[in-house]
Homo-oligomer: A and B are copies of this chain.
Amino acid sequence: MASASKSGDATIGVDLGGSHVTAILAGEDGVVSHRSSYDITDLSIGAVVKLMSGAIRDVSAKVASVSAVGIGSPGNIDLRNGTVRYSPNFHWVNVPLGDELRAVLDLPIFIGNDARCATLGEHTYGSGKGVKNFVLLTLGTGVGGGIVADGTLLIGNSAATGEFGHHQIRATDGFICGCGKIGCFEAQASGTGLLRHVLDCAPSFPRSTLLGDKPYDVGSKAIRKAAEAGDPHALAAWNRFIDDLARGIANIIAFLNPDVIALGGGVSSAGDFMLDALRPKVEELTTMAPKGAAKIVVATLGNDAGAIGAAVMARRGGLLSSLY
């Protein structure tokens, strides 16, 4: 049982994912003691808010009192009120998530971008613990990220610092991104990007059975497993995916010269199969920082990183807090 649930000033962290909303109660040691999760696939904004507040009530019922709730949401967030200005993945524009939750919950609510929350979680308890210059890159349905420089999470002008997914790496020969641009890092190097490489390579592999009957439902894990097993179609797509991933990571190194870059999100479960292919390509593309200056590792908190980091954010009074 986490210390927060005993001391009575527990904080709750919430992760708003593409398919589920999950609320957790995490102690100051980062250990998760309670959890509640609901499927939000295909639900409206109103229904998502209802299930989110339900999940928060579920875990808050486990403790004497809750001091604050932190929520990690996709998209660009107005940190002053918790409005989601824009989320290309949810197709949300100006959704007043903070105000809607405050109307039904009598608790301080702090909202931040999900990947920035995950960065805070990994930097506080996981792969970035004690690292001065740290970058988290989340490779899931989309690509997100966060930057810690000199030990501090960077926020920027409008809480959009670390949007690595929407930097262009293939302006003329890339895939169309959900944000409307061509060849964004997210379009090329997310889980969805990996599937796009598979579809794009398909004409060269007429006998491939990789895509099966429902080509758009093939998951990134199945593609990676097939590549690991030596399927030529999967391997061709995987290599193109790794190429694009390496380019984006080398760009992050050129900009930020971090000590550690951790890879999180679903795709990072590929582990050493990914790292072994990735590291030499990143080295080759790193020309200004000394070779090997940036260690590339897999993040350690797994799916809980965002919710754990959201609880840290709530404990600190939000991302605008002077504590940062």
Cβ-defined contact, B162 with A255, below 8 A: yes
Main secondary structure of the interface of A (DSSP, over half): loop
Measured in the bound complex, the distance between the Cα atoms of B257 and A164 in whole Å is 11
Question: Is residue A101 within 8 Å, beta carbon to beta carbon, of the partner chain?
Answer: no
Which A residues from 137 to 195 make CB contacts under 8 A with B? 147, 149-150, 152, 154-164, 166-173, 179-181
Cβ-defined contact, A166 with B257, below 8 A: no
A160 CB contact (under 8 Å) in B166, B173, B257: B257
Given A86-B288, A168-B169: A257 in contact with B149 (beta carbons within 8 A): no
Question: Is residue A51 within 8 Å, beta carbon to beta carbon, of the partner chain?
Answer: no
Given A133-B156, A247-B171, A287-B181: A161 in contact with B76 (beta carbons within 8 A): no
Cβ-defined contact, B257 with A293, below 8 A: no
Given A250-B168, A290-B76: A161 in contact with B285 (beta carbons within 8 A): no
Measured in the bound complex, the distance between the Cα atoms of B168 and A170 in whole Å is 9
Question: Is residue A85 within 8 Å, beta carbon to beta carbon, of the partner chain?
Answer: yes
Cβ-defined contact, B158 with A293, below 8 A: yes
Q: Which residues of B contact A269 (CB under 8 A)?
A: none
Question: Is residue A58 within 8 Å, beta carbon to beta carbon, of the partner chain?
Answer: no
Closest residue of chain B to A172, judged by CB? B173
Question: Is residue A96 within 8 Å, beta carbon to beta carbon, of the partner chain?
Answer: no
Measured in the bound complex, the distance between the Cα atoms of B160 and A259 in whole Å is 11
Measured in the bound complex, the distance between the Cα atoms of B138 and A20 in whole Å is 45
Cβ-defined contact, B171 with A170, below 8 A: yes
Indicate how many identical chains form the complex.
Answer: 2
Cβ-defined contact, A179 with B288, below 8 A: yes
Q: Which residues of B contact A257 (CB under 8 A)?
A: 155-161, 163
Q: In angstroms, how far is the closest chain B Cβ from the Cβ of A305?
A: 20
Measured in the bound complex, the distance between the Cα atoms of B256 and A159 in whole Å is 9
Question: Is residue A4 within 8 Å, beta carbon to beta carbon, of the partner chain?
Answer: no
Cβ-defined contact, A254 with B166, below 8 A: yes
Question: Is residue A67 within 8 Å, beta carbon to beta carbon, of the partner chain?
Answer: no
Measured in the bound complex, the distance between the Cα atoms of B177 and A285 in whole Å is 12
Measured in the bound complex, the distance between the Cα atoms of B287 and A88 in whole Å is 9
Q: Which residues of B contact A285 (CB under 8 A)?
A: 168, 181
Cβ-defined contact, A289 with B163, below 8 A: yes
Q: Which residues of B contact A156 (CB under 8 A)?
A: 133, 149, 256-258, 289
Question: Is residue A25 within 8 Å, beta carbon to beta carbon, of the partner chain?
Answer: no
Q: In angstroms, how far is the closest chain B Cβ from the Cβ of A120?
A: 16
Question: Is residue A53 within 8 Å, beta carbon to beta carbon, of the partner chain?
Answer: no
Q: Which residues of B contact A247 (CB under 8 A)?
A: 168, 171
Cβ-defined contact, B290 with A167, below 8 A: no
Question: Is residue A136 within 8 Å, beta carbon to beta carbon, of the partner chain?
Answer: no
Measured in the bound complex, the distance between the Cα atoms of B181 and A290 in whole Å is 16
A residues whose Cβ falls under 8 Å from a Cβ of B = 76, 85-86, 88, 133, 147, 149-150, 152, 154-164, 166-173, 179-181, 247, 250-259, 285, 287-290, 293-294, 324
Since A147-B255, A156-B257 are in contact, a sample of 5 more A-B pairs with Cβ atoms closer than 8 Å, ordered by chain A residue number, is: A157-B289, A161-B255, A162-B255, A167-B250, A170-B171
